[in-house]
Amino acid sequence: MRGDRWLKVLLRASGAGTAPLALSILITLIFGSLPAIKKFGLHFLSSSVWNPVTDHFGLLPFLMGTILTSILALLLSFPFSMAISIFLGVYHPEGPLSKIISYLTDLLAGIPSVIYGFWGLVFLVPLMRKLELSLGIPPYGVGILTASIVLSIMIIPYTASLSREILKMVPSEIVEASYSLGATTTETILKVILPYAKSGILAGIFLSLGRAIGETMAVTMVIGNSNTLPSSLFAPGNTMASVIANEFTEATRSIHLSSLIYIALWLFVLTLLVNLAGNIIVTRMEVIGEKKNL
């Protein structure tokens, strides 16, 4: 039995228990968004207008903001996550140094998101303004790239911690066989250990992506909160989660409130699709790996 199968068993067991809760949330979101669904339909997805004064609402600016920040954060965090997991899972699986780095990595996941947002405002935004001035673009400081950098730091522990445990579960027999054939440590990692643990690593990547998509407070504080399509990575924007956090308590008209719930419905669907895609890909990779081993 491969070392990363425990993850699939755990996900299936937890999924069976949370299915009724997820269904109830879905039903609640559908009923809450019915006025917006009746008025806008699927045109809501392609509309870039968000104007509470004229009661015109569209999802596109926030969908683009969510996708841009999440994907960019994943790309920025992945090299650091893999470096940490390889260092702790292969080079130093035991010892005081391993415990310290593991503790510090896990600690990142426990820091409240508002602290990340505050750090971004105080430290990162001034740096981004200096960079933007040097590039000759408007020095907003806040924006898509700033939010992505903050998000990338927040999601490092999810990929790093899961990948670390998966790499530790790689059977020592195949590692020793690689060394006995004359492979170096780098060759063993790239050609033996990582391919063997790829499904578990991929599960960690999708876990990080799901975390990035749903992040609210830290992103709200540093993304700029502009309800328009971002013109560049340095421009202010908004995500699906941040616009709900910003406007939900201020929505006085029923169609405005329903449109925000409609966004929440699509955010729920997007998160569900990411988790489903991750499960399908991990399962297929597992099957392919078993066929190769036969």
Question: pTM of this prediction?
Answer: 0.86
CA separation for the pair 75, 84 (Å, rounded) = 15
CA separation for the pair 236, 138 (Å, rounded) = 11
Q: In the numeric block, which tokens belong to residue 50?
A: 């968000």
Say if CB 246 and CB 52 are below 8 A apart: no
Residue 65 belongs to a domain: yes
Structural domain including 99 reads 5-15+61-245
Q: Give which of 37, 44, 86, 36 is closest to 63, Cα–Cα.
A: 44
- Give the per-residue pLDDT at 293: 53
Residue 24 belongs to a domain: no
Residue 47 belongs to a domain: no
CA separation for the pair 236, 230 (Å, rounded) = 6
- Give the per-residue pLDDT at 291: 52
Beta-carbon contacts of 155 under 8 Å, excluding residues fewer than 6 positions away, are 73, 74, 77, 81, 208, 209, 211, 212
Residue 253 belongs to a domain: no
DSSP 237: B
Residue 27 belongs to a domain: no
SS (H, E, C) 133-168: HHHCCCCCCCCHHHHHHHHHHHHHHHHHHHHHHHHH
CA separation for the pair 274, 278 (Å, rounded) = 6
Domain count for the chain: 1
**DSSP SS3 for 224:** strand
Query: Which pLDDT tens digits describe the chain residue by residue (294 residues)?
Result: 444 454 454 445 445 456 777 788 889 999 999 999 999 999 999 999 999 889 899 999 999 999 999 999 999 999 999 999 999 888 888 888 888 998 888 888 889 999 999 999 999 999 999 999 999 999 999 999 999 999 999 999 988 988 888 888 888 888 889 888 888 888 899 898 998 888 888 888 888 898 899 898 999 999 999 999 988 999 999 999 999 999 988 888 899 999 999 999 999 999 988 888 877 777 776 555 555 554
Residue 35 belongs to a domain: no
Q: In Å, how far are 70, 100, 102, 218 from 82, measured between CA atoms?
A: 18, 17, 13, 24
Q: In Å, how far are 192, 281, 283, 287, 288 from 291, measured between CA atoms?
A: 16, 15, 12, 6, 5
Say if CB 135 and CB 54 are below 8 A apart: no
DSSP 246: H
Residue 292 belongs to a domain: no
Residue 293 belongs to a domain: no
CA separation for the pair 11, 251 (Å, rounded) = 37
CATH number for the domain spanning 229: value is 1.10.3720.10
